[in-house]
Amino acid sequence: MTNTLYGFKSCDMVRNAMKWLEANTVDYALFDYRKQPLDPGILDGWFERAGWESVFNRNSTSYKEMPEDEKSGIDEARAKELILANTNLIKRPVLDTGKELIFGFKPAAFARALGK
């Protein structure tokens, strides 16, 4: 299975992850969810494998700018709805090795997961 990096090219963290993957000769495919819609099934898989709170980015500008009443009571179903409407609410980048999901660019975690 190919490693897949999810995010969008204009994100600094995604660009840093891409540079790291290339410098470490790791084959990967970039899924740019600003250019193609994220399949709800992928999101369901992430939620199942890592838990919705690992995916949902409460530190994003998009989350911080949400009205307070929309922030209260977020559960898995609401997180999915919000993420599908605004992918900026995903911690990024997401590296899916097929065996492991890593949210955010963490060189040590990338190296461990990819055997580098």
Per-residue pLDDT of the chain (116 residues; tens, 9 = 90+): 589 999 999 999 999 999 999 999 999 999 999 999 999 999 999 999 999 999 999 999 999 999 999 898 899 999 999 999 999 999 999 999 999 999 999 999 999 999 99
pTM of the model: 0.92
Count CB-CB contacts under 10 A for residue 28.
Answer: 17
Selecting among 1, 4, 6, 11, the annotated active-site residue is 11
> Residue ranges of the domains in the chain?
3-114
The residue with tokens 């900026």 is: 88
Assigned superfamily of 3-114: Glutaredoxin (3.40.30.10)
Whether 83 contacts 56, CB under 8 Å: yes
Is 11 a known active-site residue? yes
